[in-house]
Structure 1
Amino acid sequence: MKIYPANLEQKINFDKIKDLIKESCTSTLGTDFVQKITFSKDIRLIQRLLDQTEEFRQLLASGEMFPSSNFINIHPYLDKARVEGTFLYEDEFHEVRLGLTTLAGCVDFFKSHEEEYPHLFELLGMVNDDRTLIRAIERVMDEKGKIKNNATPELNMIRNQLIYEENRLRKVLEGIFRTAKAQGLTPDDAAITIRGGRMVMPVLAEYKRRIKGFIHDESATGQTVFMEPAEVLDINNEIKDLIYMERREIQKILTLLTDTLRGFIPDLKRAFHFLGLIDFIRAKAKFALKIGGNKPIIEKQKILNWENARHPLLELSLKLQKKPLVPINVSLDHNRRILVISGPNAGGKSVTLKTVALLQYMFQCGLLIPVEPSSTCCVFDQFFIDIGDEQNLENDLSTYSSHLMNMKYFTLLANKRTIFFIDEFGTGTEPQFGGAIAEGILIELNKSGAFGIVTTHYGNLKQLASKSHGLVNGAMRYDVEHLEPLYQLEIGKPGSSFAFEIARKIGISDEIILHAKAQVGETRVNYDKLLLKLESEKNKYQQLLVENEKKEHILSRRMEEYKDLKAILDTKKKEIINEAKIQANALLEETNKKIENTIREIKEHKADKEATKQLRKSLESHKTSIQPEKRKEKKVQEVKVIEGEIMPGDHVRLKDNGTIAEVIAIQQKTAEISIGDLKSKVKIERLEKISATALKKEKKAIPRSTGYDTTGKMMDFSTNLDLRGKRGEEILPLLQNFIDEGYMLGMKDLRVIHGKGDGILRDLTRNMLRHMTMVRGFADEHVERGGAGVTLVALKDN
């Protein structure tokens, strides 16, 4: 396994990834493992590391309770306890106890969740779950880390005696202090205190010889001394002896406890190695959640197929600036092993290369990477990189010489198990020679069967990639219209540097740009123009695709709404029909009863003429009452047509549908008319002037009517006009009326169905549409919906 150069991790910023993982560790147990992260070519090890981290990521995401504190490094205490005759202090045993409690919590959790987290459960193999030591510590120490009073009978007796002597001391001293205070020998605000571990009382300096005792201290001003009266001297000495006895007993207990611990040192080392490993795996899982990391699919064959790959450090930085990161899609296989990325400066070439390099390195270190879970990764044995300025002052090597030294290393050692990354391939020397050498190196690397990514501006390398098996071009997409990078990688075509376009945008004069084009040569300029055109068309068609997807989404939503509405209407129709049938049955039964009663009464009256006549009248009256109501037809008065030229302000009627309107303006052979609140433009030949008097009469005959029922028309209007089977002379009025009504109703798109045939109806239809002022344009329908047999008509805005 070879990694080149030695400072590779710093070059791809993997050292910063380590620092972020360290921040997620809770102790030095975990950070020690972060320092040991290494690049691996063992596919089974990588798979195991990824599985462990993925399981812990799921554990954190689930919100289940898991020990989150006291991952304490007890190894220094174990090293101390290893020496015979030594003992750990109370606070050190308290740390050991906290660590053991956390260890027990982890063990219990994984034992109860073996099925959910099998790979983490396997780690329990390094833990000997013997809890004798923690029980021994808990038997003699309390939760605050202090030795319990009942740890031993001797300690219990000593502490009880100590409490007794301290109480006796306080009583005697308080009696002496009260007497001295009453005699004015002490300061007014004074109280009994401790000096040198002994209980003393404050006395004014001028009265110190009035009290027998031992002076331990004096105040800063020298006006007060702190005295131990002779009466309590023996009691204080007794307390001091008891304190020493307590200390010796505690030391004896800690020594015995340390002896117990000493036998568990090998097991404890393995157990706390497990605890450190858990802290480390959790830190990796936390980092994965932070960057959106996932476990990719691992393939044994050499294939790299990433979806929505993101540079984790760049994404975290942009998040702080509240800016989005554009992900990339990368695909390499045995047919397209080496990706040659080209494009404008600051277009994202180097970022793309560093993203792939960093994520591949992270993956082979067992870290989850920010790609889609369906992405595919493979393992390489060798990892080479050539990024940045490697000028070596000690060896007097220039930047270009340093690059050539790297290329020498690459070409000598690269093989089918190698992945390499070269940024700004061939730069650093005269372009003509640099490009030629770079081409030769690229051919050699391609022969080796290695995988890799290179970035370049050289046209000869783009051409080599387009015609060589194993190489593939990639372009960083560019917004040609706004001259801004899109930071999207497109594999399969080379990218332009857009040098002339960027120079023009910056403000370089046209003379300079023309001179530069002449120096470059017509062939190269035309080549860049072609790339520019391809990029422009790509952007245009992608925009159209987005718009079509939006329209398809709206259409599918409308179809769903239509289906729901149709279902409601069908249900309602069934309900109405059922209700009508029930009413009809009831009515029929009632009528039959009426007829039967009439017949019976006629028989009872023995066919008396007068009675029969009355019964027939009653039957006719019933018949009339069950007849459906007839609609009242509105009487439409004839509107008088008058001769003369149509002028603004005149009232007119449309000849083909009888709609009444008022002329607003005249423009050549077209009139702008007002129909209620609607305005429209029609040919004058379609209008006839009418009498204003007759119009008033008609308005009175039809109360509050505008002459145009918009709601009714909207309900009855169809956006499809079928002209199939019509003769040529029939088309004009049908088409004109169809377009007028659609325009007045505010429609935007109409469909005229004329069929394909010999194209005669289609040509007639489109010739008429060309001369209609309301028509903005027309085109063939989609192939799946009629193609050239249907004309889509787009109307202008009202």
Structure 2
Amino acid sequence: MIYPNNFEQKIGFDKIRNLIIEKCLSPLGIEKTEEMGFSSDYNTVQSLLSQTDEFMRIIQEEDDFPVNHFFDVRPALKNIRVEGTWLDESAVFDLRRSLQTIKDIVSFLRKEDEENTPYPHLQQLAGDVLIFPQLLNRIDSILDKYGRIKDNASAELSKLRKEISQVSGSISRTLNSILRAAQSEGLVEKDVSPTMRDGRLVIPVAPAFKRKLKGIVHDESATGKTVFIEPAEVVEANNRIRELESEERREIVKILIAFTNEVRPLTPDILQSYEFLAWIDFIRAKARLSIEIGAIHPTVEDKQLIGWDRAKHPLLYLSHKKQCKEIIPLDIWLNNENRLLIISGPNAGGKSVCLKTVGLLQYMVQCGLPIPLAESSKVGIFGNIFIDIGDEQSIENDLSTYSSHLTNMKFFVRNCDEKTILLIDEFGGGTEPQIGGAIAESLLKRFNERKAFGVITTHYQNLKHFANENQGVVNGAMLYDRHIMQPLFTLSIGNPGSSFAIEIARKIGLPEDVIADASEIVGSDYINMDKYLQDIVRDKRYWESKRNNVRIQEKKLEDITSRYENNLTDIEKQRKDIIKQAKEEAQRLLSDANAKIENTIREIKEAQAEKEKTKVVRKGLAEFKAKIESEELVTDDKIARKIQKLQDREKNKKNKVKAVKEQKAESISVGDNVRMKGQSSAGEVMEIQGKNAVVAFGMIKSTVKLDSLERVSKNQLKRENQKSTFVSSQTGDMVYEKKLNFKQDIDVRGMRGDEALQAVMYFVDDAIQVNAGRVRILHGTGTGALRQIIRDYLRTVHGVAHYQDEHVQFGGAGITVIDLE
């Protein structure tokens, strides 16, 4: 079920449908596109997606798929139901070409065995589609390749056309003779030739000479300077041509009626074949759009699930593509544990785009359209998709914006279940905030009880707290860079987002006294909580970046280790080959030496030399052989020791990596004091949820990855509270980009005390994080109250090593210079 009726316009699917229509080849495909609709049947969705995916591969890999003649001849076929009606030549020609296209498509899809076909779903669609080869042959017997009736379509037609040709030739010869005579008499210009008027051959003549040429005047030019005369000699012949042409037309109609009588019984089967052609046109258009938006056939599971990596809004992607801009993809995962996502964050930060992306992509996939996301993604099937977005005021029905929202909520509460996904923008908005937030929380509670899925955007703090405290509901934040005051259009699931109202107000130039009054009205607790949310988001971004870098480094280390091991194996193999070759060479040399010595001994014996001399020679030979073998052993042992040394070094590296991983996996349990690695703020573990932990940092609970936490003993916590810094020095290499945008000075002159203090707190936090070294605060002299407030605060900051007045030449007591640790 889809709600409301204008659902497609709300999420932009009407534009997707129009893009598909533009890519259709005929009204056949357009009709299917207009009929395309939402399906909650898993098998239907999978079949539609598979068909489109196969056609995407055809477009990308095949060159010979037939797409030339997609003609819609169905209206003509429906008009011949009555006996005596017939198809005209153009309809028959379109029928012939489109039937040939159907035949070629079916042949293309059936060219492989059913077990080996690369396009099984399209082949199944082709199924038992009829291709009418006899009908094609029959059309070929009456039409030529240009779609005209052949002369030999019947014996009578052949006879008539021959006679027409003969009479026309006679008329042409007679006219040419008359024309030459008229030209010689000066009645007609030299360059004039016979022309056709009202289907009769005539001669153009000046009005002054029209009575000198006997014949019938048929017409005159628009200027009146030329009249067209049919000479009397050819009048009868032209009349005969008219008669023959009428007989020819009657014979053609007779041929077409006979052919139509053959087609009429086949009309139901032909229309069924055109249904197949319509599906092919429709699927091809879907495939072309899918390729254009970078879509894939995702992994679809027959359950309620959203597990998307790098999902893109198709319309936004096409718009950015035209402007040569990159789109920021969306990562979102909803399952039975976290079904309802509450997204908060600044206005214009991408909350509504995120919601519409979810609605559009889920609707597309359940209409059988591939969607643009990463291969690792998983897509579920929902039975209902309900959306409440935009202003629905109605003068006719006397509905305000809020009344319209409540009407939608009434429908949602009555009809939602565990197979429903709700898409609600600005939940509870449109009325007084306190009661609006209360009603929204009450509705959210019931949505959660019914186990509905949903993506909901809001600014209400009570909904953020509800998500933090109730199973099944999870917070999400659209990230915002408060240093450059720009949204990042990135969804982060796990923590609520800040609205950055104060920062945005200051950026657009709202007077500081207005901002100060507003801050005083809401109170310091609210402002500090908002700041804390911002810090959580900032720290999470940092640690996600850090963890990603660690993963990259570990992957590089694994690659280097693997490559090193392969190199060692190759070296060992080469060493054995070299030693083997060296031994063979040495053995050959020894054999040659032995042969030479034996020959020498033989010669000595033959020369009757002394036996002692022979023994000396043999002993020298033995010593020579032993020396060579000893050198081989030394060389072999030397190489083996070197390889062993390399292997020991590699083993030590692996042990170090293992030790680091074991240290990371240090167990954390409920009740432990922990902190995020590299941070000084400590909290208490309230709950363990798989790889995540719920940690209470003061008044705020936050869900944090276990591998980003480290245990803190009570003694260590006490020592570190006495001496700590806001940001670990280990983060220096990760904040280079922030350093580039950081300014060493801040001007708080003219601000009220609490407003100036908050600005200084942000400024000093950032300065410590980027290791600024020395910064300056311009507060002016005045009464000295602002200077005193700021310095009272600086005394409490552990990261501040020293502060003092600026040199008198550069501002003196009106500026505080801070040296950071």
TM over 0.5, yes or no? yes
Q: Which residue of 2 aligns with 1:197?
A: 199
Does residue 284 (structure 1) correspond to residue 286 (structure 2)? The answer is yes
Q: Which residue of 2 aligns with 1:157?
A: 159
User: What is the deviation of 1:605?
Assistant: 8.8
For 1:373 and 1:591, how far apart are their aligned partners in 2? Answer: 69
Does residue 305 (structure 1) correspond to residue 307 (structure 2)? The answer is yes
For 1:327 and 1:289, how far apart are their aligned partners in 2? Answer: 17
Q: What amino acid is the match of 2:40?
A: K
Does residue 488 (structure 1) correspond to residue 487 (structure 2)? The answer is no
**Deviation string for 1:520-578 (max 9, x for gaps)?**
23433333233222222222223323433444455455446645665665566556655
Does residue 111 (structure 1) correspond to residue 110 (structure 2)? The answer is yes
Q: Which residue of 2 aligns with 1:697?
A: none
For 2:31 and 2:365, how far apart are their aligned partners in 1? Answer: 20
SS in 2 for 1:144: coil
SS in 2 for 1:416: coil
Q: Structure 2 vs 1, CA of residues 457 and 194 (structure 1 numbering), >3 Å: closer, same or farther?
A: same
Moved over 6 A (4+): 589-608
Q: Structure 2 vs 1, CA of residues 535 and 140 (structure 1 numbering), >3 Å: closer, same or farther?
A: same
Q: Which residue of 2 aligns with 1:793?
A: none
For 1:387 and 1:164, how far apart are their aligned partners in 2? Answer: 77
Q: What amino acid is the match of 1:293?
A: A
Q: Which residue of 1 aligns with 2:135?
A: 133
For 2:527 and 2:440, how far apart are their aligned partners in 1? Answer: 22
Deviates more, 1:15-24 or 1:87-96: 87-96
**Deviation string for 1:279-301 (max 9, x for gaps)?**
11222222222223333344343
Kept in 1, the 8 Å contact 2:305–2:381? The answer is no
Deviates more, 1:46-55 or 1:386-395: 46-55
Q: What amino acid is the match of 1:15?
A: D
Kept in 2, the 8 Å contact 1:126–1:270? The answer is no
Q: Which residue of 2 aligns with 1:648?
A: none
For 2:358 and 2:571, how far apart are their aligned partners in 1? Answer: 57
**How many percent of aligned residue pairs carry the same amino acid?**
46
For 1:301 and 1:51, how far apart are their aligned partners in 2? Answer: 18
Does residue 68 (structure 1) correspond to residue 70 (structure 2)? The answer is no
SS in 2 for 1:452: strand
For 2:110 and 2:571, how far apart are their aligned partners in 1? Answer: 60
**Deviation string for 1:731-770 (max 9, x for gaps)?**
xxxxxxxxxxxxxxxxxxxxxxxxxxxxxxxxxxxxxxxx
User: What is the deviation of 1:462?
Assistant: 0.7
Kept in 2, the 8 Å contact 1:126–1:274? The answer is no
Q: Structure 2 vs 1, CA of residues 354 and 208 (structure 1 numbering), >3 Å: closer, same or farther?
A: closer
Q: Which residue of 2 aligns with 1:703?
A: none
Q: Structure 2 vs 1, CA of residues 475 and 220 (structure 1 numbering), >3 Å: closer, same or farther?
A: closer
For 1:600 and 1:297, how far apart are their aligned partners in 2? Answer: 86
Kept in 1, the 8 Å contact 2:164–2:241? The answer is yes
Q: Which residue of 1 aligns with 2:3?
A: 4
User: What is the deviation of 1:439?
Assistant: 1.1
Of the three residues 223, 230, 233, the one matched with 2:232 is 230
* 1:251-290 pair list within 5 angstroms: 251-290=253-292
Kept in 2, the 8 Å contact 1:288–1:369? The answer is yes
Q: What amino acid is the match of 1:67?
A: P
Q: Which residue of 2 aligns with 1:527?
A: 529
Kept in 1, the 8 Å contact 2:92–2:139? The answer is yes
Q: Which residue of 2 aligns with 1:378?
A: 380
Of the three residues 125, 138, 147, the one matched with 1:145 is 147
For 1:47 and 1:597, how far apart are their aligned partners in 2? Answer: 88
Q: Which residue of 1 aligns with 2:435?
A: 433
TM-score (ref. length: structure 1): 0.71
SS in 1 for 2:269: helix
Find the structure with the greater CA-based Rg.
1
Q: What amino acid is the match of 2:295?
A: G
* 1:231-250 pair list within 5 angstroms: 231-250=233-252
For 2:383 and 2:589, how far apart are their aligned partners in 1? Answer: 92
Deviates more, 1:305-314 or 1:54-63: 54-63
Q: Which residue of 2 aligns with 1:45?
A: 44
* 1:239-638 pair list within 5 angstroms: 239-479=241-481, 481-506=483-508, 513-556=515-558, 558-559=560-561, 562-563=564-565, 566=568, 570=572, 577=579, 581=583
User: What is the deviation of 1:29?
Assistant: 0.9
For 2:301 and 2:585, how far apart are their aligned partners in 1? Answer: 74
For 2:66 and 2:340, how far apart are their aligned partners in 1? Answer: 47
Q: Structure 2 vs 1, CA of residues 57 and 502 (structure 1 numbering), >3 Å: closer, same or farther?
A: same
For 1:291 and 1:162, how far apart are their aligned partners in 2? Answer: 59
Kept in 1, the 8 Å contact 2:99–2:131? The answer is no
Kept in 1, the 8 Å contact 2:66–2:101? The answer is yes
* 1:731-750 pair list within 5 angstroms: none
Q: Structure 2 vs 1, CA of residues 557 and 222 (structure 1 numbering), >3 Å: closer, same or farther?
A: same
For 2:577 and 2:108, how far apart are their aligned partners in 1? Answer: 61
Pairwise CA RMSD of aligned residues? 3.7
SS in 2 for 1:486: strand
For 1:561 and 1:124, how far apart are their aligned partners in 2? Answer: 51
SS in 1 for 2:163: helix
SS in 2 for 1:495: coil
User: How many aligned residue pairs are there?
Assistant: 633
Q: Which runs of 5+ in 2 are unaligned?
A: 629-645, 653-728, 731-821
For 2:107 and 2:555, how far apart are their aligned partners in 1? Answer: 52
Q: Which residue of 1 aligns with 2:123?
A: 121
Q: Structure 2 vs 1, CA of residues 137 and 525 (structure 1 numbering), >3 Å: closer, same or farther?
A: same
User: What is the deviation of 1:455?
Assistant: 0.6
**Deviation string for 1:230-259 (max 9, x for gaps)?**
222222222222112111111211222222
**Deviation string for 1:330-355 (max 9, x for gaps)?**
22223322111112222221111111
Q: Which residue of 1 aligns with 2:30?
A: 31
User: What is the deviation of 1:478?
Assistant: 3.5
**Deviation string for 1:455-507 (max 9, x for gaps)?**
11111101101111221112223345544433232222222223334445555
Q: Structure 2 vs 1, CA of residues 361 and 592 (structure 1 numbering), >3 Å: closer, same or farther?
A: closer
**Deviation string for 1:141-185 (max 9, x for gaps)?**
112111100011000011111111111222222222222222222
SS in 2 for 1:210: coil
SS in 2 for 1:264: helix
Deviates more, 1:44-53 or 1:579-588: 579-588
* 1:698-737 pair list within 5 angstroms: none
Q: Structure 2 vs 1, CA of residues 605 and 434 (structure 1 numbering), >3 Å: closer, same or farther?
A: same
For 1:441 and 1:238, how far apart are their aligned partners in 2? Answer: 89
Q: Which residue of 1 aligns with 2:177?
A: 175
Kept in 1, the 8 Å contact 2:386–2:412? The answer is yes
Q: What amino acid is the match of 2:103?
A: A
Q: Which runs of 5+ in 1 are unaligned?
A: 629-715, 723-775, 778-798
For 1:156 and 1:279, how far apart are their aligned partners in 2? Answer: 40
SS in 2 for 1:276: helix
User: What is the deviation of 1:261?
Assistant: 2.1
Q: Structure 2 vs 1, CA of residues 210 and 499 (structure 1 numbering), >3 Å: closer, same or farther?
A: closer
**Deviation string for 1:48-99 (max 9, x for gaps)?**
3233323333333331522213221112212321233222221122122222
For 1:272 and 1:303, how far apart are their aligned partners in 2? Answer: 38
Kept in 2, the 8 Å contact 1:480–1:536? The answer is no
Deviates more, 1:383-392 or 1:215-224: 215-224
SS in 2 for 1:69: coil
Kept in 2, the 8 Å contact 1:343–1:477? The answer is yes
TM-score (ref. length: structure 2): 0.69
For 2:123 and 2:154, how far apart are their aligned partners in 1? Answer: 40
